[in-house]
Structure 1
């Protein structure tokens, strides 16, 4: 059983934390892949998304130019292995952590992914 628990997550709560969303088509374009490849990455827990208005979307912060944020797929797999749902993992990635400082996704953008993965690994115990 993981130590880190969250309460009920509402769409407004997640939207406030995350900010900008991309459709599968918008995410696929800079990566040079098809929207179906984005769906496959989501199925493989290498990317996460949620439905908004009947459409699957991903956080814009998951992209760094024309690539995924370094370390994102591995971190998402760790969170999945720890039993996090997609919305719980998204909330964790976008919630400020004073010990980093900032949010885990910000730390990953700043090439501090090792710190983030250590925290994600500890959540499984």
Structure 2
């Protein structure tokens, strides 16, 4: 995938120690969540960070993992996955991450599958 989108959903970027504090999990467990695609992050300002909108009540958003996997199967890298999730999408009407947070997982994944 080429081209960059400008994220439209404002989010705080959490460094791994902040993710550990937010979730109450060990650093090893947080790394496992990243490895298993329950979370996705990227380097921002020299540190690896995760968008805070990927969490609900101190837990990774449950519908995030499957959506990340669909996007990666379509050829997206981590930065592209994050950009797509945070940018408004015309076919959904809002940013995909906002739709996921509203429980619209099937709709978001259906759109994501068309991007392959």
* TM bucket normalised to smaller: 0.7 to 0.9
Secondary structure in structure 2 of the residue aligned to 1:7: coil
1:7 counterpart = 2:3: yes
In 1, Cα distance between the equivalents of 2:71 and 2:35? 14
8 Å Cα contact 2:9/2:95 also seen in 1: no
TM-score, L = length of structure 2: 0.85
Farther-moved stretch of structure 1 (86-95 vs 45-54): 45-54
Structure 2 counterparts to residues 1-125 of structure 1, below 5 A: 5-8=1-4, 13=6, 18-124=10-116
Shift of residue 100, structure 1, vs aligned partner:
1.6
Q: Deviation at 1:71?
A: 0.5
Moved over 4 A (4+): none
Q: Which runs of 5+ in 1 are unaligned?
A: none
TM-score scaled by length of structure 1: 0.80
Number of matched pairs: 116
RMSD: 2.0
The unaligned stretches of length 5 or more in structure 2 are none
